[in-house]
Amino acid sequence: MSSTACCPDPCNNGNPLTWLLCPSIDHVSSALQILLDLAREDKGALVEKVLQHRNPELCIDVLRKLLKSSASWLSSTAACIFGVLLENEFMVLKLQKGAEEDNNLICDLAQMLSVDESDVVMNAAGAIASLVETASGRTWFLQNQSLFNEALERLSVLLENERENTVNSAALVLARLSLCEETCEKVLSYSSACETFRRLAQCLSCSHKDTAMNAGFAVGRLCGSRQARILILREAKEHQLVSRLQALLSSGSEVEMSQTACFALSCLANDEDGHALLMESTSVPALLDGLLQMLQSPEPDSIWFAAMTVRVLVSRPSGVVPVRMHYPLLKQLKLLSMSSSTGPELQEEVNMCLRRLEHLSKPPPVMVTNLTSTSYTVSWERCKPESGLEVIYSLFDRNVMLYQGLLCQVTLPVSPHQSMEPLSLLLNLSTPDGDISPFSEPVVITPEKLGFRLKPPQELCVIGSTATHVHLCWIEPEGRVKPRSYQIYCNDTLVKTTTLLGATVNGLSPATSYKLSVSSLGQGDAESPRAVIEVRTADDQDHAPSALTVVVLGRHELQINWGVPVAPLGRLFKYELNMNGCVVYMGTERAYTARRLSANTAYTCTVTAITSRGRCQSSPVTKKSARDEYLHSSRYMLSPIHQTASKRSTPSSIQVMSEVKKNDTNSPATLKSKVHPTMVQHRAIDLRKDRLRQGSAVVFPVSSTDHLMVSNGEHSEYIFRMQTLSSIPEDLTHFRAKISPGKIDGLAGLQKGLVPGLVYQFFMNGVRLGSYAIIESLGYIHTDGRVSAAKSTVSGAIAGVVGAVMGSPIYLVKTHLQSQSTSSIAVGHQYKHRGMMHALLAIHKQHGILGLWRGASAAVPRVSVGSAAQLSTFSASKELVTDLQVFSEGSWLIALSAGMISSVVVVLAMTPFDVVSTRLYNQPVNHLGKGVLYRGFVDCFSKTLKKEGMTGLYKGLGASYFRLGPHTILSLLFWNELRTLYHSNS
């Protein structure tokens, strides 16, 4: 071991650190060479030697001074030694502690990056790379932002250096800086970040594998931050990032390069926008081919990186489609999943890929609910494939597509062709890439479930029967399939086919039981089951008055009594009594006392029932008056001369009867005035005596279409009763009107006419409010943005006219049904309807189609006036309440307040029309369907006003408000809220 005298201390060449401290440049150069060789052999030995020196800080200070040496070899070697020392974190902390004041070491290294000497730059970049490899070194490097930006700018420039080693060192520094997210953010936040990214992207195509790998790693790490993704997505297309990474992956020269490319691609595709950028690239097919080569590689790490990249690609639906169409890649994944040599981590990645790439499976059968004759609802389970692709559902009835879309429930109408064959519902699934699942198991729905099988007629009943005829009536069967016609059977023998809802079976035997049945006939002569009814025809004499008896009261009096017909033929008007061919009585009573007869004389009596369908005469009964024991007594009243006079009066009687037949719809009082004058005097006396002796006899109608005419006495009693009722105070009348039906008819009596009332409201208000809403939506009721009183009134009246015309038939039936009551409290004319449908059929049969609109002349003005008052007042009131800002805008209380105001106006406007309408609807009619009491609206209005005054037109005002008030308030409130809900959703 030699020493020289040039050193202040003994300079021993065996210790290079001693020479490093020597002032001789030769000794320093030799020491640096020895330390560099030691670093190449054992980096840890170099670090240990420096730390074990008695003054390591002095040694480090000398090395730092050498960084500034003008001799490039000295500064380059010193930078290289620092690169080895900075790899040790303890050394980094020691160096950082010694340089806390000025950060001069980092500053010196950063300045060396701009030197023209390539070796100096390369070793300085390497030293910085070693520094930022450790966490403490990166923290130290980031402490001074300006120094960091300066170094970053010089590193970015170095990426375009001519020497590959220099470029690699710069890329390595950036790669190591990207290990820290904070550093990534700072790298991308400085002004030249775009340029740095561009140069990194170019480095991906560098022939030097380490440079490409470092650049790829840096790009991958930079994609981890949101700020970096924004920058990269903005610059990626221009710099062909995806194609460069694909080329790096497919190079095949180095396994590490492919793995680094997979890492960068997976980092890029991990974000939604980055994934979209990747899948839009034209390099996707080549990229998938490169991944397939890696999956076929013997290197387990390469296989894992490739599987990981495929898993990231298929994590979104747009990546599933191209990967699924790459059949070799899909096949290789399946082979890896079945291989026993596949490790658990790789198996997990492969299984995740295969789950995402799995094709659609067979869906479960559909579920059918809400089966009706017009529609049915089909639903199914929602399919959520692992691929995340949008599933399109296709519903078929065998080969006919019924629905295709994204919903999982659909309500379908029943088409006519489905009425004969059962439905076979099938479901299959599909995705936009053409993946189609198998069909589900069929769900069969028979026509019976849909109500397509013909059903028998409903409510088959007998509405008229004679000795040889039976008249049947029925209602159209339920279900979507309507019959073409009906077949009528008598004892299982087809006797008639008709398209009407009624038929008459003729040629029957009297007093005989028959089994009559009716079936529906559909398309293709398909016949429904039969509706059956048992009926017995009447006896020959069942239509005539029954039980005719004649009792001899004396020599000059006979008492004749008879009963009502067992089966009246049509509407019964009156009875006609004949004695020896002469009419002696015509009226509604069923008893008569004949006086001033001849003694010991036979009298043959017959009674004829006069009905709307003809005359039915009873069998004759002959009785002989008692013998007169005093032939010359003055009590003998009927001498042969008198009988001769009676015979002479016969032609007049015949004439009177001919007039009676012509006017058989007149009242009995009118008929009495037309009887022969010779009979009037004693008959009037007899009738008064008969009433005092026997009382009046009442004959009730035998069916809903038969009405019995009343006598003058009964009519007078009726007029007296009505006058008495009209004299009762109005409030008491209302009270009685409410209490009496509930007391006599029970709680159900208060709800009479509920069904037609609801149907009437549906038709009338549905059309009325719908028409007004259309007019309002077209802007016809507004002037300069405000509601016009005149326009809204006219619009409401027009809507009311349309609604009243549509609902008038149902209102007529409602009035009939609500006026029906027991005889003890009955007011007005009584109809015997069994229900709404029966009433409609009966009115149509008796008075024709125009008969259903009887009383519409009152309903149309009533509803038009009420509608005009209601809707115009509601619109104006709602606008007024809104302007006053009493409630918040859009509050339901605005509509409620406007409805309450409108209800008062409506009741005041409609009550007179309600009174007139009710009287017109409920008045009796003659055989021509014309009203008996009033000719029409104007006639009824004028008569009521003349006889009862204005108070007569406002009868029932309190009851009207309790009916119309809540109805108006609630209907307008719900109407307004439903319209608001509809407009908000649409």
pLDDT recorded at residue 555: 85
Reading the block at residue 301, the tokens are 């790490």
CATH number of this structure's domain 367-450? 2.60.40.10
CATH number of this structure's domain 702-728+741-823+830-984? 1.50.40.10
Work out the average pLDDT over 408-419: 74
Q: pLDDT at residue 364 above 80?
A: yes
Rounded Cα distance, 658 and 321, in Å: 100
Please write the tens of the pLDDT for every residue from 652-693: 333 333 333 334 433 333 333 333 333 333 333 343 334 333
Rounded Cα distance, 86 and 129, in Å: 9
Work out the average pLDDT over 913-942: 81
Q: Residue 828 — pLDDT band, cuts 50, 70, 90?
A: low
CB 425 within 8 A of CB 440: no
**Low-confidence winner among 244-248, 692-696, 931-935 (lowest mean pLDDT):** 692-696
pLDDT recorded at residue 253: 64
CB 578 within 8 A of CB 605: yes
pLDDT recorded at residue 403: 92
pLDDT recorded at residue 633: 44
**Low-confidence winner among 497-501, 630-634, 951-955 (lowest mean pLDDT):** 630-634
What percent of the chain has pLDDT above 90?
A: 17
Residue bearing the bigger pLDDT, 443 or 194? 443
DSSP state of 925: B
> What kind of fold does domain 239-357 have according to CATH?
Leucine-rich Repeat Variant (1.25.10)
Give the side-chain half-sphere CA count within 13 A for 534. 2
Q: Residue 162 — pLDDT band, cuts 50, 70, 90?
A: confident
Q: pLDDT at residue 366 above 90?
A: yes
Most confident of 485-494, 536-545, 683-692, 903-912: 485-494
Q: Residue 449 — pLDDT band, cuts 50, 70, 90?
A: low
Q: pLDDT at residue 755 above 60?
A: yes
Which strands sit side by side in the sheet containing 392-397, from one edge to the other?
400-405, 392-397, 423-430, 443-445
CB 897 within 8 A of CB 882: no
Q: Residue 199 — pLDDT band, cuts 50, 70, 90?
A: confident
Backbone angles phi and psi of 241, in degrees to 5: -65, -45
pLDDT recorded at residue 958: 86
Rounded Cα distance, 333 and 354, in Å: 7
pLDDT recorded at residue 226: 65
pLDDT recorded at residue 416: 54
Q: What does the CA dihedral 803, 804, 808, 810 come to, rounded to 10 degrees?
A: 40
Architecture of domain 458-536: Sandwich (2.60)
Please write the tens of the pLDDT for every residue from 277-310: 888 888 899 999 999 999 998 888 999 999 999 9
Work out the average pLDDT over 753-762: 81
For residue 701, give the 3-state DSSP assignment: coil
Q: Residue 717 — pLDDT band, cuts 50, 70, 90?
A: very low
For residue 360, give the 3-state DSSP assignment: coil
CB 537 within 8 A of CB 508: yes
pLDDT recorded at residue 486: 93
pTM of the predicted protein model:
0.43
Please write the tens of the pLDDT for every residue from 371-405: 766 778 999 999 988 888 899 999 998 888 989 99
Rounded Cα distance, 130 and 139, in Å: 13
Q: pLDDT at residue 424 above 70?
A: yes
pLDDT recorded at residue 352: 92
- Residue ranges in 780-891 assigned as alpha helix (H): 789-819, 836-847, 856-884
CATH number of this structure's domain 12-153? 1.25.10.10
Give the side-chain half-sphere CA count within 13 A for 979. 16
Rounded Cα distance, 129 and 139, in Å: 13
Q: What angle do CA 891, 895, 901 make, to 5 degrees?
A: 140
Q: Average model confidence (pLDDT) for the chain?
A: 77
Which strands sit side by side in the sheet containing 409-413, from one edge to the other?
367-369, 375-379, 409-413
**Low-confidence winner among 465-474, 615-624, 638-647, 945-954 (lowest mean pLDDT):** 638-647
Rounded Cα distance, 838 and 882, in Å: 49
pLDDT recorded at residue 88: 79
Cross-strand bridge partners of residue 617 = 608
Q: pLDDT at residue 638 above 60?
A: no
Q: Which of 926, 822, 938, 811 is nearest to 863 (CA)?
A: 811
Residue bearing the bigger pLDDT, 33 or 420? 33
Q: pLDDT at residue 640 above 80?
A: no
pLDDT recorded at residue 426: 93
Please write the tens of the pLDDT for every residue from 581-614: 899 999 999 999 999 899 989 999 999 988 887 7
Q: pLDDT at residue 882 above 90?
A: no
Q: What is the largest CA-CA distance in the chain?
A: 205
pLDDT recorded at residue 748: 58
Q: Residue 98 — pLDDT band, cuts 50, 70, 90?
A: low
Work out the average pLDDT over 92-113: 71
pLDDT recorded at residue 561: 93
For residue 385, give the 3-state DSSP assignment: coil
Rounded Cα distance, 772 and 796, in Å: 6
C-alpha gyration radius of the chain: 56
Q: Residue 895 — pLDDT band, cuts 50, 70, 90?
A: confident
**Low-confidence winner among 607-616, 827-836, 841-850, 863-872 (lowest mean pLDDT):** 827-836
Please write the tens of the pLDDT for every residue from 43-91: 777 778 777 777 777 887 788 788 777 777 888 888 888 888 887 778 7
Q: pLDDT at residue 99 above 80?
A: no
Work out the burial of residue 35: count CB atoms within 10 Å of its CB; fewer than 13 is exposed, 13-18 middle, 19 or more buried: buried
> What kind of fold does domain 545-624 have according to CATH?
Immunoglobulin-like (2.60.40)
Amino acid at 906: V
Per-residue HEC secondary structure of 938-982 comes to: HHHHHHHHHHHHHHHHCCCHHHHHHHHHHHHHHHHHHHHHHHHHH
Please write the tens of the pLDDT for every residue from 214-238: 888 888 887 766 666 666 666 666 6
What are the extents of the domains in the chain?
12-153, 239-357, 367-450, 458-536, 545-624, 702-728+741-823+830-984
Domain pair 239-357 / 367-450, same fold: no
Q: Which of 238, 314, 217, 302 is nearest to 270 (CA)?
A: 314
Rounded Cα distance, 142 and 81, in Å: 22
pLDDT recorded at residue 666: 39
What percent of the chain has pLDDT above 70?
A: 79
Most confident of 110-119, 557-566, 735-744: 557-566
pLDDT recorded at residue 13: 52
